[in-house]
């Protein structure tokens, strides 16, 4: 439900980080409530420059041999990284730029206008907010966000922000293209898992969900003391992410944090918990976090794709047979989202809760 400036959460003086930065002259230190207990060895500046596999998706339209080698490259990226970058993805750079522009315009609106979409309920179809999970007490994070359901379109389109005036139209076009891209990638992942090419797509049900999360991370005077976004894995199957050219994404691999460079015009694709579950643990959803910098605001736009809200999430039966046991207990997708989004600990704790044995 939309809130006003008088509602609880905003009454506490938390008007979002962008507002805070813009209304504090010459901020030299991060306010205490944003200082996070980041372990010494995991400070953002200690991350190693990393590069994730780059996959030319044009290969999927090529002759058989090229198509199979592209599928193979995707499945090894899924097994070894859980993250990869795609080029030749078929989405016009001008549309990506336009999407970034309307998202930036949204965050630049006066606070009162953005507040129309403020909500603390993680299941609300449209939510503007700040930090991480403001319903529970915890230190704040250096980001504001706008999240909303995208697909199925008719269920939420009328609720999307109508300001800036072009937002709905541009977002609709962008999300339609991203939807097609995820079909292409899911097909390749299905084949790589030895499943029917349509297996994953069909597993999502007739009303598979698409959710968009746009993040605004203002420049920050002490980037080593806070985080834009705490370590987490995504709950859906596949997230397709782009940003405004300012780096800030870090991924955890073998207990080490790596910075993922920003390459405009490409997308970073990552597997979420749904795919870890569906693959019966063969592929892992990888923890990642958003870090901030002293120089410039970063905007990122991630689009997650998962099953229908009332779908039962469980491993694909051919993959259970392969391993002779199921690694996860079945759970209704919306219950899983709720569990994952309301925990303060994040990381992969929600996924660990549904594992059938703790040694997986």
Which stretches of the chain bind ligand AKG, using CB under 6 A? 213, 215, 229, 234, 241, 243, 248-249, 288, 290, 300, 302
276 binds Fe ion (CB under 5 A): no
As a whole number of angstroms, the distance between CA 267 and CA 285 comes to: 17
Residues 184 to 243: which contact Fe ion by CB under 5 A?
234
What is the DSSP-derived secondary structure letter of residue 217? E
Give me the least distance between CB of 122 and ligand AKG, in Å please.
Answer: 13
Residues in CB range of 229: below 8 A, 6 or more apart: 132, 141, 143, 215, 217, 289, 290
Give me the least distance between CB of 234 and ligand AKG, in Å please.
Answer: 5
Q: Which residue is nearest to Fe ion (CB)?
A: 234
Q: What is the three-class DSSP state of 22?
A: helix
Give me the least distance between CB of 300 and ligand AKG, in Å please.
Answer: 3
String of DSSP letters for 231-256: EE--SSSEEEEEESS---EEEEETTE
**Residue 213's binding partner, choosing from Fe ion, ligand AKG, none, with beta-carbon cut-off 5 to 8 A by kind?**
ligand AKG
**Residue 161's binding partner, choosing from Fe ion, ligand AKG, none, with beta-carbon cut-off 5 to 8 A by kind?**
none
Instruction: Give 266 or 300: the residue with its C-beta nearer to Fe ion.
Output: 300
As a whole number of angstroms, the distance between CA 155 and CA 134 comes to: 26
Instruction: Give 151 or 228: the residue with its C-beta nearer to ligand AKG.
Output: 228
Instruction: Give 200 or 291: the residue with its C-beta nearer to ligand AKG.
Output: 291
Give me the least distance between CB of 233 and Fe ion, in Å please.
Answer: 7
Closest CA to 354 of 345, 217, 337: 337
**Residue 276's binding partner, choosing from ligand AKG, Fe ion, none, with beta-carbon cut-off 5 to 8 A by kind?**
none
How many residues can be counted in the chain?
Answer: 360
Instruction: Give 210 or 215: the residue with its C-beta nearer to ligand AKG.
Output: 215
Give me the least distance between CB of 206 and Fe ion, in Å please.
Answer: 26
Give me the least distance between CB of 290 and ligand AKG, in Å please.
Answer: 4
String of DSSP letters for 254-296: TTEEEEEPP-TT-EEEEE-HHHHHHTTTSS-PPPEEE---SS-
Instruction: Give 133 or 326: the residue with its C-beta nearer to ligand AKG.
Output: 133
Instruction: Give 271 or 319: the residue with its C-beta nearer to ligand AKG.
Output: 271
Contact 268, 82 (CB under 8 A): no
Chain center to CA of 69: 27
Contact flags string 305-334 toward Fe ion, x per CB under 5 A: ------------------------------
As a whole number of angstroms, the distance between CA 20 and CA 14 comes to: 8
**Residue 300's binding partner, choosing from Fe ion, ligand AKG, none, with beta-carbon cut-off 5 to 8 A by kind?**
ligand AKG
Give me the least distance between CB of 195 and ligand AKG, in Å please.
Answer: 26
What are φ and ψ of residue 86, in 5° steps? -115, 140
Chain center to CA of 236: 9
Chain contacts with Fe ion (rule: CB under 5 A): 234
């Amino acid at each position: 439900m939309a809130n006003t400036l008088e509602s609880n959460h905003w009454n506490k003086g938390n008007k979002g980080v962008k507002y805070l930065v813009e209304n504090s002259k010459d901020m030299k230190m991060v306010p205490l409530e944003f200082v996070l207990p980041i372990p010494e060895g995991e400070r953002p500046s200690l991350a190693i420059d990393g590069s994730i596999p780059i996959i030319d998706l044009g290969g999927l339209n090529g002759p058989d041999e090229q198509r199979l080698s592209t599928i193979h490259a995707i499945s090894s990226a899924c097994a070894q990284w859980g993250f990869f970058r795609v080029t030749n993805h078929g989405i016009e750079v001008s549309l990506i730029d336009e999407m970034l522009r309307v998202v930036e315009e949204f965050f630049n609106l006066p606070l009162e206008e953005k507040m129309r979409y403020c909500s603390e309920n993680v299941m609300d179809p449209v939510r503007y907010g700040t930090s991480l999970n403001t319903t529970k007490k915890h230190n704040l994070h250096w980001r504001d966000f706008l999240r909303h359901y995208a697909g199925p379109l008719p269920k939420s389109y009328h609720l999307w922000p109508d300001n800036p005036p072009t937002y709905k139209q541009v977002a609709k076009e962008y999300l339609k293209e991203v939807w097609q891209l995820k079909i292409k990638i899911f097909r390749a992942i299905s084949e790589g898992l030895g499943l029917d090419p349509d297996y994953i797509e069909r597993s999502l049900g007739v009303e598979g969900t698409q959710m968009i999360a746009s993040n605004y991370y203002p420049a920050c005077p002490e980037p080593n003391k806070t985080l834009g976004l705490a370590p987490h894995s995504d709950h859906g199957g596949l997230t397709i992410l782009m940003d405004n050219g300012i780096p800030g994404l870090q991924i955890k691999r073998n207990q080490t944090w790596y910075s993922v460079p920003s390459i405009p015009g490409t997308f970073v694709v990552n597997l979420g918990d749904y795919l870890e579950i569906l693959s019966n643990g063969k592929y892992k959803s990888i923890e990642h976090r958003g870090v901030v910098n002293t120089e410039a605001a970063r905007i990122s736009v991630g689009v997650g794709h998962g099953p229908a809200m009332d779908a039962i999430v469980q491993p694909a039966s051919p993959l259970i047979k392969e391993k002779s046991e199921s690694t996860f207990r079945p759970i209704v997708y919306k219950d899983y989202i709720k569990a994952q989004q309301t925990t303060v600990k994040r990381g992969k704790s929600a996924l660990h809760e549904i594992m059938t044995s703790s040694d997986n």
